[in-house]
Amino acid sequence: MTAVHDEDALALEPRAPQRVRIEAAPRPVDLVAAEHAGRLFLKALGIDPDAADTPDLARTPRRFAEAFAELLSPEPFDFTTFANSEGYDELVLIRDIPVRSLCEHHLLPFTGVAHVAYLPGDSVVGLSKIPRMVDHYARRPQTQERLTVQIADALAARLQPRGIGVVVEAAHSCMTLRGARATGAMTTTSALRGILRDDARSRAEFFALAADRTR
C-alpha cells in the first residue's frame, strides 16, 4: 500500500467554498424626514399633496421617500468562490444583467444591461454573485462610467482572475425625458482588466460575445 503524505492528502481534498460578506457602508435612513422633504419639494413645484382636490397625492411623499430609500440601499450578500478544480481557462460571460441606477446629477433613473466576463485563475465564482455585484454598485447615485469601473475593480480584487471585461449599455432618462430629449439614445461604457485588456484576440472575443444578439 502506497503511503500518502499529509500534504498529498490535503491536495486531494476539495477546497471549501470561500465566502466574503459584501456589506454596504452604513447610512442612516430617516423616512420621516424624507417624507417631509418630499412634501416640501412637491409644494415648491406648485403641487400640493395636502389639497382637498388631490386626494390621490396624499400618500405620495411617503411613497416617494420609500422608493428612493429602496433605490439607494445596497443589499449585503456573500461573494462565494470555489476552487477551479477542472482548470477551466476559457471565458465565462454573463450577458444582459439588469442595471437600474440613479444619475447623480439629476437623480433620474438610468436603466439597461451589463455584460460581465472573466477568465478564471485559481477560482471561479458562483454565477449569481455577479448580478448581485452589479446591483450592489448600482444602488447609489452614480455615473455610468464609474459604475462600470467599480464592477470591474471589485470583481478583479475579490476573484483575482486572469482577466475581467465589463460592458454597460443604458438609457439615461436625464437625457431622454429632459434637456436634449434624445429618445432611444443609448450609452455604452466598458472596463477591461488583465488579459482582456492586454491581449487583442481575447479582447476581440469578449466584445464579440457581448455584442452577439443571436445567442
Q: Look up 105 and say whether it is catalytic.
A: yes
* Residue tagged active-site, from 35, 103, 115, 150: 103
Q: Look up 106 and say whether it is catalytic.
A: yes
* Residue tagged active-site, from 18, 66, 106, 205: 106
Q: Look up 5 and say whether it is catalytic.
A: no
Q: Look up 90 and say whether it is catalytic.
A: no
* Residue tagged active-site, from 18, 66, 160, 174: 174
For residues 149 and 143, is the Cβ–Cβ distance under 8 A? no
* Residue tagged active-site, from 35, 115, 169, 172: 172
Instruction: Tell me the three cell numbers of residue 183.
Output: 429618445
11-26 as b/e, with b when 16 or more CB fall inside 10 Å? eeeeeeeeeeebeeee
* Residue tagged active-site, from 115, 136, 144, 169: 144
Q: Report the sign of the C-alpha dihedral through residues 157, 159, 162, 168, in that order.
A: negative
Q: Look up 142 and say whether it is catalytic.
A: no
* Residue tagged active-site, from 23, 70, 75, 105: 105
Q: Look up 144 and say whether it is catalytic.
A: yes
Q: Look up 115 and say whether it is catalytic.
A: no
Give catalytic residue positions.
103-106, 144, 172, 174
